[in-house]
Amino acid sequence: MYELYYWSEIQGRGEFVRLVLEDLGQPYVDIGRDKGDEAVAEALDGVLAPYAFAPPVLRARDLVISQTALITRWLGEKHGLAPADEKGRLQAAMIALTIADLVAETHDTHHPINVGETYEKQKAPAHARSRAFRQLRIPKFLGYLERILEQSGDYLVGTPSYVDLSAFQVLDGLTYAFPRTVHRQHVPRLRKLHERIARRPGIAAYLGSERRLPHSEAGIFRHYPELEAA
C-alpha cells in the first residue's frame, strides 16, 4: 500500500503521480484527501524528513521518494510501465524531466516574482511572462514532444510508459490554461496520444470518478483570460 503525500484540493504535481498509480491499479492512500493537509505538513517534519523537500512525496514502507519525475520513474520501472532496456529507461527519464521543466514554467506564468504572493499582486509581470510563454515556450515544448512521436510511433518511448501519462496531463492542463494558444499548435500525434491515454482502462475509470478533481485557479494550470489576451 503506497502513501501519497500531496495537498487535498488541487491536482497540482501530485496528479502526475496519481495517474501512474491509477493506471497501474496500485492501491494507495491519498494522505491529504484522506487525513487533511495538516497531516501532509506534519509528515514533512516527521516520517518524510529530512530528504523530502516538498510534496508530492511517495512513501513505500521505509522508502521515501520526492520529486515528481523521480516518483513516476520509480513506479513505472518497478511495475512494468517503463522500457525494459537502459537506453529506453534513460530516454523516458529525459522526457519526464523536460516535462517537469514545462510544468515549472507554466507555474511561473501566474507567479513570476514570488510564489508566496497571490497572482493579483504580480499581474503586470505575469502578463509579460505569459506572453513569452505563449509565443515561444509552448510551441518549443509541445513541438519537442511531437517530434519524438514522429520517430517513436504511438508512444513516446515506443511502448506505453509513465512518461505518456505525464504528457497527457501536461497537454490537458495547458489546454485548460491557454486554450487558444494550444489550439493553434500543430501537434496531431500528441493530441492522439492524449486521446489514447484517456481510453486506457485505469485512466478512463479515474477520469470518470470523483477522485479526479477539475483544473482550477488554485493549481498549476490556471486559466486567467487576461493572460491569453492578444
Per-residue pLDDT at 201: 98
Element (H, E) at 78: helix 68-78
Q: In the chain, what's the furthest Cα-to-Cα distance?
A: 51
Contact 146, 189 (CB under 8 A): yes
Contact 144, 157 (CB under 8 A): no
How far apart are alpha carbons 80 and 210 in whole angstroms? 27
Coil, strand or helix: which one is 190? Answer: helix
Contacts of 158 (CB under 8 A, 6+ apart): 83, 88, 152
Contact 122, 112 (CB under 8 A): yes
Coil, strand or helix: which one is 160? Answer: coil
Query: Mind listing the domains of the chain with CATH numbers?
Result: 86-200 (1.20.1050.10)
How far apart are alpha carbons 75 and 63 in whole angstroms? 12
From its phi and psi, is residue 209 left (phi > 0), alpha (psi between -120 and 50) or beta?
beta
Per-residue pLDDT at 230: 57
Per-residue pLDDT at 229: 82
* pLDDT tens sequence for the chain (230 residues): 899 999 999 999 999 999 999 999 999 999 999 999 999 999 999 999 999 999 999 999 999 999 999 999 999 999 999 999 999 999 999 999 999 999 999 999 999 999 999 999 999 999 999 999 999 999 999 999 999 999 999 999 999 999 999 999 999 999 999 999 999 999 999 999 999 999 999 999 999 999 999 999 999 999 999 999 85
User: Which set of grid coordinates corresponds to residue 214?
Assistant: 477539475
Coil, strand or helix: which one is 4? Answer: strand
